[in-house]
Amino acid sequence: MALPDLTPEQRAANLAKAAAARHARAELLARVKDGTTTVAEVLASDDETCRRLPVRSLLKALPGLGNAKVAKIMEELGIPEKRRVAGLGARQREALAEAVPR
């Protein structure tokens, strides 16, 4: 399937939308890192930024959790590597909220 031909205005609008999404994601992860937003709040949120966030990125934003600890938590809870917050089931959300200290 070929990509559609976009006008320069459409391309600029898409680039601006992508930049806004990256900025919102970075702000969310900064709030998680400094403790103003908890993992449970992110998991319960209906905000599109929260829903599209990869679980791995969410966990890595927590102080004290690196690649090894995040991989161990996700493996123990049966969460696939590429899973996003919106793709978690109710039991996975509960288990994840209990597994992380914040």
pLDDT > 80? residue 1: no
As given in the structure block, the two tokens for residue 17 are 């939308």
- Give dist(CA 74, CA 72) in Å, integer: 6
Q: Give me the domains of the chain, ranges plus CATH numbers.
A: 10-99 (1.10.8.50)
11, with CB counted inside 10 A (0-12, 13-18, 19+), is exposed
Q: Considering the entire predicted model, what is its pTM?
A: 0.85
- Give dist(CA 41, CA 45) in Å, integer: 6
pLDDT > 70? residue 68: yes
pLDDT > 80? residue 102: no
- Give dist(CA 43, CA 77) in Å, integer: 15
Determine the average pLDDT of the residues in 52-56.
Answer: 95
Give per-residue pLDDT as tens, 4-50.
898 999 999 999 999 999 999 999 999 999 999 999 999 999 999 99
